[in-house]
Amino acid sequence: IAAAAVAAHAQDFPGGKPVTIVVPFAAGGPTDRVARDLAEALRKPLGGASVIIDNVPGAGSSIGAAKVARATPDGYTLLLNHIAMATVPSLVRNVPFKVETDFEYLGIVNDVPMTLISKPGIPASNYKELSGWIAANKGKINIGNAGVGSASHLCGLLYQSATKTEMTPVPYKGTAPAITDLIGGQIDLLCDQTTNTTPHIQAGKVKAFAVTTSKRLALPTLKDLPTLDEAGLKNFQVTIWHGLYAPKGTPAPVLKKLNDAVKVALKDPDFIHREELLGAVVATDGRIEPAGHKKFVIDEIAKWTPVIKAAGVYAD
């Protein structure tokens, strides 16, 4: 009977009930941006269901991720998270879940570059001058992030390790509040995703110095920014990927419906356009398949764990 009930439930999933996507960072930030754009694109393929966002910030995304790992596995509570799924276990102590076993994988959504930006008014107008300013202000510079374990924290750590500089970290519940303080001059630097920084760079509210991708970006606002690799930090490459997850044990027919809806959403021209305007690249490869998504995350854990250990910031 149980199997038949599960199959019936899956048949009409979501059956008019709202689907919640937990975003493990503050509203208005880059993760929230991707989640809201994706929620919009999921409505139709989920039969007109309402897809709502629940911001649950904290501990580098592990508070929100833990909430989903513990949620009823019925398909109505999902998680949208980024590279932190692969790095938080190395950066945050006692994370109360195992990424490899406590989630079902519903597909990678996009890849997002990061930009190294500063508050307005610093006496530097290119990466070389920024490096000079940092060297001249040794021990006095602070850098924002979205908490230990966040993507902005990871990028900041790698940047300081690669440049042998030390900056004071200033944590926020997300990079939306962080960039507000950067614009206000309360903090000096931030490494953050283009999905958040592009509009502020375009508006001239912050100064942009480099991108963390292997190639320069096509966006008109960002095309003149050198890659950090070009600027001298050899092999400095951090691209933030976002994926959708359900709690382990969600019935297979429900997972299939959700993954099918993700595939439709990723082909939605409006979704793709919105993402492109913000420098993000919507996923089109095998990572949109559950197995491909899971393999990618496991490979990313293997890739970043030694890097984080080498940077001397492993939360063992």
Instruction: Output the smallest distance, CB 28 to ligand MLT, in A.
Output: 8
When asked if residue 161 is in the footprint of ligand MLT (CB under 6 A), the reply is no
When asked if residue 25 is in the footprint of ligand MLT (CB under 6 A), the reply is yes
Size of the site for ligand MLT (CB under 6 A): 14
Rg (CA), the chain: 20
Output phi, psi for 61, to 5 deg. Answer: 100, -5
Which residue number, 41 or 151, has a Cβ lying nearer to ligand MLT? 151
When asked if residue 144 is in the footprint of ligand MLT (CB under 6 A), the reply is no
Among the listed ranges 10-18, 101-109, 125-133, 150-158, the one in contact with ligand MLT (CB under 6 A) is 150-158
Instruction: Output the smallest distance, CB 150 to ligand MLT, in A.
Output: 3
Helix (H, G, I), strand (E, B) or coil at 305: helix
Selected binder of ligand MLT within 150, 161, 212, 227 (CB under 6 A): 150
Angle (CA) 148 150 155, round 5°: 100
> Strands 77-81 and 19-23, how do they pair?
parallel
C-alpha 143: how far from chain center: 18
- String marking each residue 83-122 x if it binds ligand MLT according to CB under 6 A: -x--------------------------------------
CA distances for 174 relative to 26, 57, 179, angstroms: 5, 7, 9
Among the listed ranges 47-55, 172-180, 261-269, 275-283, the one in contact with ligand MLT (CB under 6 A) is 172-180
Among the listed ranges 29-37, 200-208, 271-279, 282-290, the one in contact with ligand MLT (CB under 6 A) is 29-37
Selected binder of ligand MLT within 193, 212, 213, 259 (CB under 6 A): 193
**Cα separation, 103 vs 73, whole angstroms:** 10
When asked if residue 30 is in the footprint of ligand MLT (CB under 6 A), the reply is yes
Q: Find where tokens 């110095």 sit.
A: 209
Selected binder of ligand MLT within 174, 247, 251, 290 (CB under 6 A): 174
When asked if residue 31 is in the footprint of ligand MLT (CB under 6 A), the reply is yes
Which residue number, 173 or 257, has a Cβ lying nearer to ligand MLT? 173
When asked if residue 175 is in the footprint of ligand MLT (CB under 6 A), the reply is yes
Do the beta carbons of residue 32 and residue 55 sit within 8 Å?
yes
Q: Which residue has the CB atom at the shortest distance from ligand MLT?
A: 29
Look at residues 116, 151, 142 and name the one whose alpha carbon lies nearest to residue 130. 116
Q: Sign (positive/negative) of CA torsion 173, 66, 302, 32?
A: negative
Output phi, psi for 296, to 5 deg. Answer: -60, -45
Q: Which string of b and e fits 38-56 if b means at least 16 CB within 10 Å?
A: bbebbeebbeebebeebbb
Which residue number, 13 or 209, has a Cβ lying nearer to ligand MLT? 209
Q: At what angle do helices 290-310 and 84-91 cross, to 10 degrees?
A: 40
Instruction: Output the smallest distance, CB 241 to ligand MLT, in A.
Output: 12
When asked if residue 65 is in the footprint of ligand MLT (CB under 6 A), the reply is no
**Cα separation, 311 vs 62, whole angstroms:** 21
What are the residues binding ligand MLT (CB under 6 A)? 25-26, 29-31, 84, 146, 150-152, 174-176, 193
